[in-house]
Amino acid sequence: MAATGVAGAAGMTALSGCGGGPGSGKVTLKLVAADYGTPGGNNSSKIYWRKLADEFTRKNPDIAVDVTVHSWNDIGKKLTEMVDKGNPPDIAQVDSYADWAAEGKLYKVNELLPIPAQAEFLVSLAEAGEVQRVQYGLPFVASTRVLFYNKDLFKKAGLDPDEPPESWEDLKSAARALKSAGVKIPYGLPLGPEEAQGEALMWMLGNGGSYVDSVGNYTINSPENVETFQWLRDNLVTPGYTEPGPQRVDRQKMFEAFTEGQVGILNGHPTLMQQADKKHLSYGTGKLPGSNGPAEGTLGVADWMMAFRKNGHREACGKFLAFVFDEKNHYAFTSQYGLLPVTTSASRRMRKDKKQKKLWPFLDQIAGAEFYPVGKVSWASTSAVIKKTIGQAAAKGGDPKAVLTSLQRKAEAEEEAGAS
């Protein structure tokens, strides 16, 4: 899943939103959604959507909902094919929207939802759903990142298991102690193609950098970002405190190694917490370290819903989306999958739910989290190149300035091509 990086169960399932099947209402909405379930598990998202669609149609008998659920491995390609063939669904739930918004294929959020419903979305997420200051993307679920560390390995290395590192120097010192204690991977640095853009941004934020500035211009090769990767190369990778080639290490591989007790410290999201709990791992969490103390912000990731104009079902789409984001329905989904709500009311509910106490540190950060610049039409292609390349900037013997400058030029070229 995009918000957590965990692929859902493979395959495709069509669901009817009412007992009589698609077409039994005056309007049949077609929804394409992603599966957040565990591969091979019995928690597929199709169960949630079936129940929700049936309940919606009982309350709105003139509107049927026909849902198709794809795995995260397939949904991007499947949805793009549908749109390119001129046959988009009425509503989609996926990880990006900007291209279709720029092409005029999506409804604006203010065409779908009344003002009180629009105001329910957390401000930082609503803004992340904008293209040229107009909101097209409806945040569906979100996650943030924290530092994870193995308490048993900290004890083994003579480190205080209740004090996570707060600065880069603290982190370096802890990694040195962990290596001396024989820990296989003192710090997990997954800069491989699975989600290098996320790990890289977390480190950039710790030094006052980012992918873009306050007005949306790319700043990939800023002095702050170059300094960040120089520090990673010289202080973690070259001394051997990470795996030898972090540019080839995928995040899920590192998560699995952490749950097996082989990694001392790494950055992670709520799903890692669930995986570690299943293995009964003794771990702690803390804020992301920064160059001079705890980082001021953290990475936020959201998945999105959107409504296509093609079939003209604006009013029906709006009704269904309002139902999806009703507090009870939205909270049912986020609490099931260990994700963060995107509305004020559901966030308050999670804050009061002691069963979700472990998610509170992630929830605390969401208002100040930095999200990928998904509203830029150039971001999808730029992100793809970053995933493949940016890890080279931290590699032993790598040239951070050259790598980041090359990425900056490619990003600017994509931006210029998208504007023409």
Long-range pairs for 398-404: beta carbons < 8 A, 24 or more residues apart: 398/229, 398/233, 400/226, 400/229, 400/230, 400/233, 401/221, 401/226, 403/229, 404/220, 404/221, 404/225, 404/226, 404/229
Domain that holds residue 349: 12-144+301-371
Record the tokens describing residue 402, joined without a space.
């050259």
Q: What is the pLDDT at residue 4? A: 55
Asked if residue 52 is part of any domain, the answer here is yes
In a domain, 3, yes or no: no
**Do residues 279 and 411 share a domain?**
yes
Asked if residue 219 belongs to a domain, the reply is: yes
How many H-runs (helices) and E-runs (strands) does the chain carry?
Answer: 17, 15
101 and 70, same domain (yes or no)? yes
**Within a domain: 162:** yes
Q: pLDDT tens digits for 250-288?
A: 998 999 999 999 999 999 999 899 899 999 999 999 999
Rounded to the nearest angstrom, the gap between the alpha carbon of residue 271 and the centroid of all alpha carbons in its chain is 11
Is 293 domain-assigned?
yes
pLDDT of residue 72: 86
* Whether residue 150 is found in the same domain as residue 263: yes
Q: 309 and 384, same structural domain?
A: no
Query: Are residues 333 and 399 located together in one domain of the fold?
Result: no
155 and 71 share one domain: no
The pLDDT, as a whole number, for residue 42 is 79
CA angle in degrees (0–180, nearest 5) for 142-264-160 = 105
Among 305, 380, 358, 312, CA closest to 117: 305
pLDDT given at position 43: 82
pLDDT score recorded for residue 11: 42
Could you tell me the mean pLDDT of each successive run of 10 residues in the chain, 420 residues long? 48 41 68 85 88 96 96 90 96 92 96 96 92 94 96 98 98 98 98 94 97 95 98 98 95 94 96 91 96 94 96 97 97 92 96 94 91 92 94 97 98 84
Domain count, the chain: 2
Handedness of CA 229, 230, 235, 239 (dihedral sign): positive
Tell whether 170 and 289 lie within a shared domain. yes
Residue 39: the pLDDT is 65
Same domain? 317 vs 384: no
- Give the count of beta carbons closer than 10 Å to the beta carbon of residue 315: 12
Q: Is residue 161 one of the residues assigned to a domain?
A: yes
pLDDT at residue 420 in the model: 62
CATH number for the domain harbouring residue 17: 3.40.190.10
Residue 379: count other Cβ atoms within 10 Å of its Cβ.
Answer: 24
313 and 398 share a domain?
no
208 and 249 part of one domain: yes
Q: Considering the domain boundaries, does residue 394 fall inside one? A: yes
The answer to whether the beta carbons of residues 112 and 318 sit under 8 Å apart is yes
What CA–CA distance (Å, rounded) separates 256 from 263?
A: 9
233 lies in the same domain as 254: yes
Same domain, 270 and 387: yes
What pLDDT is attached to residue 64? Answer: 96
- Rounded to whole angstroms, the Cα distance separating 250 from 237 reads 16
Closest CA to 249 of 192, 208, 291: 192
Any domain includes 6: no
The whole-number pLDDT of residue 37 equals 84
